Amino acid sequence: MTQQNPTVEQRIARLEAIRQIEELKYRYLRAVDGKNFDEFRECFVTEGGSFGYGPMGTFSSVDELLAVFNAYFLGRNDEGNYFIFDMHHAMHPTIELRSDTEAVGEWTLRFREVNTRDRVEMINAGSYRDVYVKVDGRWRVQQQEFSILWMISQPLPDGTDVLPLGFAS
C-alpha cells in the first residue's frame, strides 16, 4: 500500500497498523509460551485459514491446530507439571500493508524448547511468513507458514532440573 505523497494522517495510520500487527505476533508468541490457548485462538481468523508448521503439518483451521498443540504442549507429569517448556523470540519483522485490511509479514524466530518427558533440549532458528487480515477492527493471522532454518537437539545432562515456575496448576 504505497502511495505517492501520503498525508500525515495516512502515514500515521500505516504506522499504527504495523504496530498492531507486531503486537498481534507478540501476543501469539506469549500465548504459546504461556500455554494460553484461548488467547492463542484470538490471534487467528475463525474461518478460511491455512497454517503450516513444517513437520507438525498444515491446518485449515485454528481448531485443528489447537488440537495438535493441546496434545503436545499440555501433557503433565505425575506431579502435575508440564513436560514441555517453550521460549519464542520473534524479531526482524518486515510488514507490508497491501490495503487497509490486508498485510503480509516475515519474521525471524529464535526458539528454545525443553522437553522433560524425553529429557531433550531443542534450539532452532526459523522464519514465519504470515498473511494478516483485519476483521471487525482487529488484525488476525489468516495464513502462517513456519520454516525451520536450522536446529540443535541435545539430551538434557543428568542432574538437570527444570523448575516449572510461573505456571498455574
Residue 29 belongs to some domain of the structure:
yes
CA gap 43, 69 in Å, rounded: 15
pTM for this prediction: 0.91
For 36-88, write each residue's pLDDT tens digit: 999 999 999 999 999 999 888 999 999 999 999 888 889 998 888 899 999 99
Percentage of residues in the chain with pLDDT exceeding 70?
A: 95
CA gap 144, 61 in Å, rounded: 11
Residue 120 belongs to some domain of the structure:
yes
DSSP E strand stretches across the chain: 50-52, 58-59, 84-97, 102-115, 120-135, 138-155
Q: What is the CATH number of the domain that holds 32?
A: 3.10.450.50
For residue 103, the enclosing domain spans 8-155
CA gap 169, 34 in Å, rounded: 12
User: What's the whole-number mean pLDDT along residues 143-162?
Assistant: 94
Task: Count how many residues are written for the chain.
Answer: 169
* pLDDT value, residue 123: 97
The domain total for the chain is 1
Residue 147 belongs to some domain of the structure:
yes
Residue 162 belongs to some domain of the structure:
no
Buried b (16+ CB within 10 A) or exposed e, 26-64: eebbebbbebebeebebbbbeeebebebeeeeebebbee
* pLDDT value, residue 168: 53
Residue 167 belongs to some domain of the structure:
no
Residue 169 belongs to some domain of the structure:
no
Residue 168 belongs to some domain of the structure:
no
